[in-house]
Amino acid sequence: MNDNNQNFFQKNAGALVLAVLAGVGLWIYTAFFKIIPQSSAQPITAVGQEVITTLRRLENVSLDGSLFSTSEFQRLAEFELVIPSQPVGRPNPFASFR
């Protein structure tokens, strides 16, 4: 390298470093904060309309209580598995062992 090029880089070292850092920062920003295209997302009104339609269908559901008086339902037995209590660890797990 000749003296002119060396002097140029020495005089402008701060600006060159700043330009490289700005370029890297811009690349990182675009890589991590990409905007999702609007066409791939459902419109909010379509989702809201689907919920309203489902709620209207649920309003028309009626339950018949005679199911609970059938012999098959009466024969169902509840079973329970009792889990015995286990010993608990130290009151302060971060205390030193003495």
Buried b (16+ CB within 10 A) or exposed e, 16-47: eeeeeeeeeeeeeeeeeeeeeeeeeeeeeeee
Mean pLDDT over the full length of the chain? 82
Query: Do 16 and 9 meet the contact criterion of CB atoms below 8 Å apart?
Result: yes
What does the pLDDT look like over 12-58, one tens digit per residue? 888 889 999 999 999 888 888 776 665 555 566 667 888 888 899 98
pLDDT of residue 22: 94
Nearest to 42 by CA among 30, 51, 54, 34: 51
pLDDT of residue 67: 84
Name the residue type at position 43.
Answer: P
Name the residue type at position 12.
Answer: N
pLDDT of residue 37: 61
